[in-house]
Amino acid sequence: DTEVTQTPKHLVMGMTNKKSLKCEQHMGHRAMYWYKQKAKKPPELMFVYSYEKLSINESVPSRFSPECPNSSLLNLHLHALQPEDSALYLCASSQGYRDAPYEQYFGPGTRLTVT
Amino acid sequence: GENVEQHPSTLSVQEGDSAVIKCTYSDSASNYFPWYKQELGKRPQLIIDIRSNVGEKKDQRIAVTLNKTAKHFSLHITETQPEDSAVYFCAASRFFGNEKLTFGTGTRLTIIP
């Protein structure tokens, strides 16, 4: 299984809502990532988890809260978002240890619209 | 931090001709350089990558070259086909399992039948 899955595919939420994005992989990868991609732009890194610990936070606003419950799952909790947070949210995973193949495999993304 | 520049931003090529996309990076510690293809509404997919101890890598119609001294790397697609139409992103990172990928700004490649 070389797939990263994400749910939901689409999400529309109001600025006062709380929602969560979910990402799952069963490749035994120990590094997982959240990226944000705006239209016609490259993916921008938000968070990196390594061995279920947050290792990189790219100065993301606290209205985005990541969680890694276990080595296969990655969540992104959303609260009090702004319309400019509307984007495609991509999850990725990689083997996650030194000298290992470093390919990052991307999930299909969640298209988020904040109204 | 790392900065990756990518050119051109758009490229139109006649079917069967070759396409070349170029990237430069700023961090001399970067030593892993993947290329991703992203079709409209789909996920980025790795098409080829190169590590800093290699100067060139080829996979069928796709090749990547790396010049560490000049800090630039290029993607070459030969015998282009309509299905090659997509946005291509270069990226750079350090060769550790939990490091970030810094992406270039992307090239929209259109293959003209």
Mind listing the pLDDT tens digit for each residue in B12-47?
A: 999 999 999 999 999 999 989 999 999 998 999 999
Name the minimum distance, in Å, from the CA of A66 to any CA of chain B.
16
> Which of A45, A95, A107 has its CB closest to that of B101?
A45
- Buried-exposed string A88-101: b where 16+ CB fall within 10 A, e elsewhere: bbbbbbbbbeeeee
Instruction: Kindly indicate the confidence band of residue B73, based on its pLDDT and cuts at 50, 70 and 90.
Output: very high
Q: Name the interface residues of A facing B (CB cutoff 8 Å).
A: 30-31, 33, 40-45, 48, 50, 55-56, 58, 90, 94-100, 102-109
Instruction: Kindly indicate the confidence band of residue B109, based on its pLDDT and cuts at 50, 70 and 90.
Output: very high
Q: Over range A40-69, report the average pLDDT.
A: 94
Q: Over range A35-46, report the average pLDDT.
A: 95
Q: What is the pLDDT of residue B96?
A: 59
Instruction: Kindly indicate the confidence band of residue A1, based on its pLDDT and cuts at 50, 70 and 90.
Output: low
Residue type at A104?
Q
Predicted confidence (pLDDT) per residue in A70-90, tens digit: 999 999 999 999 999 999 999
Q: What is the pLDDT of residue A2?
A: 63
Name the minimum distance, in Å, from the CA of B62 to any CA of chain A.
17
Higher pLDDT, B33 or B96: B33
For chains A and B, what is the number of CB pairs under 8 angstroms?
Answer: 62
Q: What is the pLDDT of residue B52?
A: 86
End-to-end CA distance of chain B: give it in Å, rounded.
41
Name the minimum distance, in Å, from the CA of A97 to any CA of chain B.
4
Residues in B closer than 8 angstroms to A56, CB to CB, are: 98, 100
Return the closest-CA partner of residue A65 out of A51, A50, A81.
Answer: A81
DSSP class of residue A15 equals: T
Instruction: Say yes or no for a CB contact (<8 Å) between A41 and B105.
Output: yes
CB A74, CB A23: distance < 8 Å: yes
Phi first, then psi: give them for residue B82, nearest 5 degrees.
Answer: -55, -35
CB A29, CB A4: distance < 8 Å: no
| Mean pLDDT across chain B | 94
Q: Give the span between the Cα atoms of B53 and B50, in whole angstroms.
A: 8
**B53 pLDDT higher than 90:** no
